[in-house]
Amino acid sequence: MEKTVRVTRSFLPPMEEYVEMLKPIWDSAWLTNMGDYHERLKERLKEYLNVEGIELFTNGHLALEMALQAFELEGEVITTPFTFASTTHAIVRNGLTPVFCDIDPEDYTIDTDRIEERITERTCAIVPVHVYGNICQVDKIEKIAKKHGLKVIYDAAHAFGETVDGRGIGTFGDASMFSFHATKVYHTIEGGAVTFREKWLADRLYKLKNFGIMGEESVEFVGGNGKMNEFQAAMGLCNLKYTEQVIARRKELTERYREHLQGIKGLKLCPEKEGVKSNYAYMPVVFEGNGFQRDEVAEQLKNHGIYPRKYFYPCVNAYQCYQGTYDPKDTPVADRISRQVLTLPLYPDLEMEEVDRICRIILGECRKA
């Protein structure tokens, strides 16, 4: 009987290690509200990500919502439709108007050559996304933002631990959001963070995530609740010790996929960028024809107990909740890639033999066609 293989599986540290970390939580009965583990994790992540400032959140979506709120933006925000729902929803839930820019057909990040044509007098910010861990053209985005006086808040949910020429990815732009969801390269069960350079953001983000409470009798700001709890922080501290090991294993699996699939006509793999230390977060494959049809391949894999994901399909500007407001045909590259892309299983516990089996099935579909 063939083994069931999901698109991802959460990495977990040894159970006894995590359980041991829970004892101080029980002893202190301090479960949330910036406890000891929360503060320790902040410092460890600040060092690991090589950033000047960081605030932790209960999840990545609230981190992004509150990062946008921190800048008190009004008007239009240029972003990409080739992303998870959270990116656009965070913009809309802040009373801002998303303006969708098409994507680069090579790495699926925002097309920097198309940004300026979408800037109007109402544009206040750019929210680019490091898709699959593919790094945006950060230098070009910075030049455009400076030229037009725009804020840049990166959705770096997929880019934990990545660097560009030795520089932490969380140091680019005015702020970056990281997701620590259970499916990510690094996780705190649920969780997220915002990294930044300007010191005033530490105070603003703290107020936003803690109801604006700054003392027992002092509420200085209209904030919400986005605090990471001690159980999440404990998991984060445990997992951080294994992150480099996890990334190394992901690299091995990615390289095996590439051995099988690189150079096959009709299959397109993401290019590897010079100077970028990757985290190997995802294994996207674009099926461009020559016998390969994305939906047929996905169905055949499922027939063998393998469950890839059409990630991202549909594009955000094709969602039911945005129908009548946006048209996916306005971003034709994103629309096309969304109909061709499939992310294959990739996680540390995945056996190399399963990668071989997945690739045999994919290539077998081509031979049949």
Domains of the chain listed by start with CATH number: 15-240 (3.40.640.10), 244-368 (3.90.1150.10)
Summarize the confidence of residues 195-212 as an average pLDDT.
Answer: 97
pLDDT band of residue 2 (cuts 50, 70, 90) is: confident
Whether pLDDT at 367 is above 80 = no
Q: What is the pLDDT of residues 89-102, one digit of tens each?
A: 999 999 999 999 99
Task: Tell me the average pLDDT of the chain.
Answer: 97
pLDDT score at 369: 54
pLDDT score at 366: 65
- Considering the chain, what percentage of its residues have pLDDT values greater than 90? 96
Q: What is the pLDDT of residues 213-244, one digit of tens each?
A: 999 999 999 999 999 999 999 999 999 999 99
Q: Which amino acid is it at 84?
A: F
CA atoms within 13 A on the CB side of 203: 7
Alpha helices for 149-288 (secondary structure H): 200-209, 230-240, 243-261
Q: What is the pLDDT of residues 127-148, one digit of tens each?
A: 999 999 999 999 999 999 999 9
Calpha distance 247→128 (Å, rounded): 24
pLDDT score at 1: 65
Whether pLDDT at 181 is above 60 = yes
pLDDT score at 336: 98
Q: Who contacts 76 (Cβ-Cβ below 8 Å, separation ≥6)?
A: 96, 97, 98, 99, 120, 122, 123, 124
Whether pLDDT at 179 is above 90 = yes
The size of the chain, in residues, is 369
pLDDT band of residue 246 (cuts 50, 70, 90) is: very high
Q: Could you say which DSSP state residue 323 is in?
A: B
pLDDT score at 290: 83
Q: DSSP labels for 21-56?
A: HHHHHHHHT--SSS-HHHHHHHHHHHHHHT-SEEEE
pTM of the model: 0.97
Calpha distance 361→247 (Å, rounded): 26
Q: What is the pLDDT of residues 288-323, one digit of tens each?
A: 988 889 999 999 999 999 999 999 999 999 999 999
- Specify the higher pLDDT residue, 69 or 1: 69
